[in-house]
Amino acid sequence: MDRNVLEIPIIARGRIIMPGEDAVEYKGRGGADFRQADPHLHIHDLVLSDTARLRDLHDTPMREIIDLFAELGTQLRLDDNELLQQSFALALQAGGLAEPILRGVYDALPHMFERAMMTALVEKTIGLDYIDGWVPGSGPYGNVSIRAVGTRQLHITAGNVPVVAAMTVARAGLTKSDILIKSPSNDPLTANAIARTLIDLAPDHPVTKHIAVAYWKGGDEFMDSQIVRTSRIDKITAWGGMSSVRHIQKFLQPGIDLTALNPKYSMSMIGRETFESEAAMEEAAIGLATLAGFYNQTACANTRLVYVESDTDDASLERVIALGRRMVAAYDLLPPLLSVPFTAPNRELEAEMAAVALEDDFYHVEGDTLKGGFIVSKFNDRVEFFDKLNNRVVNFVPVDDLSDVLKWCDDTTQTVGIYPESIRPRILDAFALAGIQRLVSLAGGNPMTVYANSHHMPPGSPHDGIEPMRRSVRWVVDMRPAEQGAALEIAAE
């Protein structure tokens, strides 16, 4: 066997199944090839057919689960965890993040399992009392109790940012759910490494016994048809492209709930007031560089389009071009843990940029896909390849009024950066109704301030416009006979 092919085990509820004679080799991205036991032969290890086996997790007090996760967090320090070091090396090779950015992502893993964070997450999204027991109503409805019950879940995860793996493990335990994680080809090891760390820490704990992790190729109809059955799965969370979501929808049946965290596009909006002073332009440029550049523009929350309240005469467009130049210059201010220049060009995007550069009556193009760049549309529309913008390349689009941007917004519009803050009151409600999921500020004048203001949300905040943990449980109602007086009172209402 080629010594460069990594051997990855299947994790099956506390068991580690190493690849043997039945191993299958997979082509990972970036040449990060790996071997794993054939998942077709281990379907019964990966799914939970008997719901009665969830009882051990159902009866475990949430404080014990949170204690376990708090201890797990202390074991997820990259410098001390050989499993994570192996995962980091593979993600560096297969993923799209440069070393300092990826290291910053991995360094954040322990904080995701802090006790206060876990407690607030459960309390906000479900309620500790509801996940640990039956909560009775009050007054005449004292005979009615409600409880949140764990489910059997399949998570088809994305690999653009490895925190998805940690988030998925945490959400499963905090909903007292049995979980099967289908790892992505560009990050096949992070969830695996976290699950194995949990096995080393607490091999017999109910949380450990209800985590399975494996990889199989996207579009594998045999695997999906065997797994996606009401006898084996209650809930599915699918991250990633529309093709994977459409594929899994083919196997859905009544009784299986799909949460589709499909691709999102993010943008920023710049008000006319920005051009009233050099200081305002500089502050806006730093904000744009931060939201466009963090994680090297691999995340859904990255700005790729900037709608600027501006006329389209030559003088007005020159001001927009000047803002673009300031943004590219501000990329140099971003710390390496947020963004760095690319080491290889994006040939497809550069070909698109070169093509529109020839149409100089309609577009102005500067920069490249190594350091970053921008395209200014000289009319009120975005470039046709807006969904391919990457490598810190942004399209500036002039609009007469920011309300004109509403026509480009829907439920695929995730994060919207704004500048200056004075425009917030006149856009907030209209854009919320149009489908955006998060409105953040470009103000601050410092990349880490802008990043913090756009990312540090309270535990349990909505994700892509929904509450995934709340959707992951089953809400059960227990109605007992009401006392006669109470029953008559209800009937009279």
Please report, for the domain that includes residue 122, its CATH number. 3.40.605.10
The per-residue pLDDT for range 210-254, each reduced to its tens digit, is: 999 999 998 888 999 999 999 999 999 988 666 667 778 888 888
Residues 189 and 200 in one domain: yes
Question: What's the confidence (pLDDT) of residue 2?
Answer: 46
Structure tokens, 471:
């959707």
Tell whether 255 and 395 lie within a shared domain: no
Q: 178: closest CA among 213, 218, 224, 223?
A: 213
Q: Scan for tokens 């192996």, then name that residue.
A: 86
Q: Which residues contact 85 (CB under 8 A, 6 or more apart)?
A: 78
Distance CA(148)–CA(167), nearest Å, equals 20
Q: Do residues 243 and 229 both lie within one domain?
A: yes
What is the pLDDT at residue 167? 93
Low-confidence ranges of the chain (pLDDT < 70): 1-3, 30-31, 240-244, 484-493
| Domains in the chain, number | 2
**pLDDT at residue number 150:** 97
140 occurs within a structural domain: yes
The two three-digit tokens of residue 427, written as one number:
């856009």
Pair (433, 471) in one structural domain: no
Q: What is the pLDDT of residue 486?
A: 56
pLDDT of 1: 42
What's the chain's length in residues?
Answer: 493
Q: Quick check: is 419 in a domain?
A: yes
- Phi, psi dihedrals of residue 204, rounded to the nearest 5°: -105, 5
Same domain, 283 and 344: yes
- What residues make up the domain containing 221? 6-263+467-476
Looking at residue 193, what is its pLDDT? 96
**Does 188 share its domain with 272?**
no
22 inside domain: yes
Q: Residue 330: which residues within 8 A CB-CB, separation 6 or more? A: 285, 286, 288, 289, 290, 447
